[in-house]
Chains A and B, each alone.
Chain A
Amino acid sequence: MVVQVVRGFYAVAYAVKLCRPNVVCAYPITPQTEIVERLAEMYANGELKDCEYITAESEFGAASILVGAAAAGARTFTATCSQGLILMSEVLWNAAGLRLPIVLVVTNRAMSAPLSIWNDQQDSMLMRDAGIPQVYVENLQEAHDVIPQAFKVAEDRRVMLPFMVCMDGYKLTHAYEPIDVLSQEVVDGFLPRYNPPVYMTTKNPLTFGSYAPPHCYMELRVALQNAMTRAKEVISETCREWAKTVGRDWGGHLVEYFTEDAEVVAVAMGSLVGLVRDVVDEMRSRGRRVGLVKLRTLRPFPVEEVRRALRSANKVIVFERSVSFGYEGPVAIELKGALYRSGNTPEVYSIAVGLGGRDVPRALIVDCINKVIEGRIGEGFHFEGVKPFEEVLAP
């Protein structure tokens, strides 16, 4: 085991290198830039074997280049976030329909306007319905470990879909943490060479990207849904295999923490999980029956696991890092859907915190949980950690 203190962007870039991609293509955007800069550096130094690093003219171009490369049989990687992700989104929807296993890291960042380079998770929510699995990571070791798993799941014959690894911008990308750095040997043993079932070749000229009139469109969408459904099992299976190979079990779709007898269960995704876990520990030590669900995958959505994790909860607090404007936080909406006719219908509090990089201090999490326990706020959607301000309407 080689434990090294690294920054988040390096943990990702180095793991990507170990996965032996054939084409890496990106357009720089804060705070993703350092990931692709590290890869560009490795390329410039000849450390990326059998790989081309391409600088695109936009995120739209970058994703499109990878569509071509993946269709021709290459293992492909990119990273982006926020405005870049939404610019890419047309291509990513297309890549999902084309069933191309492009792996991308989203360094979660707020959406404009107002412009913000800081972290929340509004951007990846945009891609919820595209047919692309999304995994949210909590720390640098998890980010490092998930990259090989992402390629493995994406390229699995039962899946063949793009794959999104979501890591909080700055909070993870620029953090320093000690990680066990993977070896080439371990990754090679875990992740076989990419062997696409079909690809563009003059030896067997196939047509990719046909248009589908009404008499055949739906079946291809059913196939996409089936792939996402199978991806759910493949993600769990791959996670178990990783645990067996490397010794770190990231828990598949979600991780339960003190949920068995918890009356109040907090739900969080990404870098906030560590802080909430810490608060739960402290409250447990004072006899409070609180628990935590770390939700790792938003799609495919782990309905059964969510139902199990919330089976005894009276109150569920979802710490949202994004908003579905006009409704609630998107994660709470998903949870409520999963709980429908589950036999347990807890109160669900959807609490948006830390948007656009607003600090989420420990005291805010404690305060939110106490407010819910003591019945000081009602069910439904709330913003917390907001300064008092007067909204002035135009005359």
Chain B
Amino acid sequence: MKTYFGPGHGACPGCGLAIAAKTVINALEGRCFVVNPTGCLEIISSQYDRSAWGVPYIHSLFENAASVASGIEVALKVLGRKDEGHVVVLAGDGATADIGIGCLSGMFDRGHNVLYVCLDNEAYQNTGNQQSGLTPTGANTTTTPAGKLQPGKLQRKKNMPEIAVAHGAPYVATASVAYVPDLTRKVKRAVEFEGSKYLQVHCPCVTGWGISGRDVIPLARLAVETGLYPLVEWENGAVVRVMKIREKKPVEEYLKPQARFRHLFTHPKGKEVIGLIQRIADENIRRYNLLMGAG
């Protein structure tokens, strides 16, 4: 297979996001225009004179990838070059759910034919683990540190996929680097739809989560098996498929190996927070009907 991303990029060994980026581009067989806002992926791949990209690539700013993609899509249409490839955004969770959500909402609203992929490593990891809207409850980040009073982040993870669904996006899905064939299938399915598609991929971060490279895939799988990262697909507003959980795992199994959650097992409020995280997992399981054999 031709290489469209790397080798030679600067990601950490085991980096979830690099696996996801490569999988997305390969699924499209390189027939795509990549728009990448400022963030981990941009920094590991786009240094001047050392680009890791074998597809047309642009980085503009932190918060405008959805708009830049809209512009490329419109230009290709008006210049009669629509058939050259798909317009794809590969953005981090901060660029998507926080600083770039205005531009993303505009793109959804106008319905540009763009596949927007959020590579969700659950914090601003490029700059050293600051919390984002997609950082999960209880996580210790440098801006929601676990201190004597505060047990890490108190708020819940923003439900971006349903925000996309509410905009009327024709195809929305969550995926995980633990299930690469599933991610590939979802990318291929997404581009069958005309309009703005949203795909959110769970990408464990070696440095930010405080895990080893060999734990990236097992932990991504545990996130799904606990119900904390439900893999769901919406088509035209309705849930059409979910990845079923064979045997539900307790959230502690997912939390314990990660440095970002370690304080929960010693902090005076830790037990309470773990209880809340379990409730979030259970809610997901009920909401999306995730348990195998539960219809």
Taking Cβ atoms with an 8 Å cutoff, the residues of B that contact A are 30-33, 35, 42-43, 46-49, 51, 53-61, 63-64, 67-79, 81, 84-85, 102-103, 105-106, 109-110
Contact = CB atoms under 8 A, between A and B. Distances in A.
Contacts of B60: 64, 67-68, 91, 94, 98, 209
Contact of A69 (B43, B59, B72): B72
Interface string A158-193: 000000000000000000000000000000000000
Q: A-side binding surface: helix, strand, loop or mixed?
A: mixed
A280 interface: no
Given A58-B102, A74-B78, A203-B84, A68 B69 contact: yes
B109 A57 contact: yes
B47 A200 contact: no
Interface in A26-53: 50-52
B70 A71 contact: no
Interface stretch (A210-218, A259-267, A315-323, A363-371): A210-218
12 contacts: A22-B78, A56-B67, A68-B68, A69-B75, A71-B58, A71-B71, A72-B33, A72-B76, A202-B84, A208-B58, A210-B49, A211-B43
A211 B71 CA distance: 21
Given A52-B74, A65-B67, A68-B68, 10 more contacts: A23-B71, A54-B74, A60-B103, A62-B67, A65-B71, A69-B75, A208-B59, A209-B59, A212-B48, A216-B48
Interface of A: 22-23, 25, 50-52, 54-58, 60-62, 64-74, 90-91, 94, 98, 200-213, 216, 220
> What are the 3 tightest A-B residue pairs by CB atom distance, in nearest-first order?
A68-B71, A57-B106, A64-B67
A216 B49 contact: yes
Contact of B46 (A22, A94, A211): A211
A61 B43 contact: no
Contact of A56 (B58, B59, B106): B106
A91 B77 CA distance: 23
Given A69-B71, A72-B33, A201-B81, A64 B103 contact: yes
B58 A68 contact: yes
B75 A68 contact: yes
Contacts of A203: 84
B59 A67 contact: no
Contact of B71 (A57, A60, A64, A94): A64
A205 B106 contact: no
Contacts of A204: 56
A212 B75 CA distance: 27
Nearest to B63: A60
A211 B45 CA distance: 10
